[in-house]
Amino acid sequence: MSALPDKFAALEPFLEVWSIEGANARDIARSTRSAEERQAFHAAMEPLIASALDHLDAAPLADHTPADHRLMLLALSFAHISPSVAILGADDERHAQSRRRLPITRAPADEY
* Predicted local confidence at residue 40, as pLDDT: 95
d(CA 42, CA 64) in angstroms, rounded, equals: 24
* Predicted local confidence at residue 19, as pLDDT: 95
Distances (CA, A) of 10 to 2, 15, 44, 77, 107: 10, 10, 8, 16, 28
d(CA 67, CA 45) in angstroms, rounded, equals: 16
> What percentage of the chain has pLDDT greater than the value 70?
74
pLDDT tens per residue across span 48-80: 999 999 999 999 988 999 999 999 999 999 998
Q: What's the whole-model pTM score?
A: 0.80
Average pLDDT, the chain: 83
Confidence of residue 110 (pLDDT cuts 50, 70, 90): low
pLDDT tens per residue across span 24-40: 888 888 878 888 898 99
Q: What Rg, from alpha-carbon coordinates, does the chain have? A: 14
Judged against a pLDDT cut of 80, whether residue 107 lies above it is answered with no
